[in-house]
Amino acid sequence: MTRTLHSSYPTKMSLLFASDLANGSVNIYRTDRLVNNPAPIATIAEPSGGCPYQMAFDSEGDLYLADECLHRIEIYPKGSTRMSGTITKGLYDPFGVAIDKHDTLYVSSGSAIEEYAKGSKSPTKSITGAGMNSPFGLSLDRRGDLYIAGYSAPAVFELPAGGSSVTNLGLANLTQPVQTAVDWKLGRLWVTDASGYRVSIYQLGGSAEPIKEIAGGYPFSVSIQNAGKLAGTVVYGDLGANLVYAFMRGSYTPYARLNNGIDEPTGLLIGKP
């Protein structure tokens, strides 16, 4: 598919950003049009050799993108598809990224979580331990607690806000957890389990058993919008089906299936920048 690459995109509505490993790009969609399987409204083209994975917004709406192959975090100003800077120090194979309300940046890198204070391009803290092996996708709850998909553990770990040590949550039925996302209102943790061929949903503070499992081909990426119009919308990307599925809050039946411009959805971010 050939399309014009725009240098900017509108930011006054909820958007879905979808990293595509096969094409080395991030496609941007309007959330309110997902039901129509729309074409992207803009595309971020990765540098040669780039491998895009997870993304996060800072408080200004700037986009931070984990580039595993180039061993860096790329920064794109709000509304722009043109990179303005990178973070490389302390990073090796970064797959996951999250940013809290204080603009503290968390990156999964090698066997550690690297933490960067606001504005810093060097790690201020490196967090390991508790059997955390090959940390991958990251997400935050309303309090700022970090949830880490331990790809090879296999487990999900929690890093309390401001903490320096992680805890294995002991969640059941995990085979290869790749990414996590938290519904702040319902207190539910979504975990994509790639070689488990399912998405598992857990009630935080509840049972270790999932409250729901959604079968998939190769579930990989996941994101939840927690504020603004369309809050509660959940999206997950399936590398086996080359699809992104969208769900309303509290529903486990997708209301939309997106494959327009989707090949290998290795990262998703939904929300208003």
**pLDDT-based confidence at 1, cuts 50/70/90?**
very low
Helix (H, G, I), strand (E, B) or coil at 42: strand
pLDDT at 2 over 90: no
pLDDT at 149 over 80: yes
What is the rounded average pLDDT of the residues 109-128?
96
- pLDDT tens sequence across 48-84: 999 999 999 999 999 999 999 999 999 999 999 999 9
Widest CA span of the chain, in angstroms?
A: 48
Fold of 15-271: Neuraminidase (2.120.10)
**pLDDT-based confidence at 129, cuts 50/70/90?**
very high
Quote the pLDDT of residue 222.
98
Pairing of strands 188-193, 177-183: antiparallel
Q: Are 113 and 100 a contacting pair, CB within 8 Å?
A: no
Pairing of strands 125-127, 112-116: antiparallel
Quote the pLDDT of residue 5.
56
- pLDDT tens sequence across 77-115: 999 999 999 999 999 999 999 999 999 999 999 999 999
pLDDT at 271 over 60: yes
What is the rounded average pLDDT of the residues 124-135?
94
pLDDT at 4 over 60: no
pLDDT at 164 over 60: yes
Domain extents in the chain: 15-271
| DSSP single-letter state for residue 33 | G
Separation CA 91–CA 244 (nearest Å): 28
Mean predicted lDDT score pLDDT of the chain? 96
| DSSP single-letter state for residue 34 | G
Q: Which residue has the tokens 């999964």?
A: 108
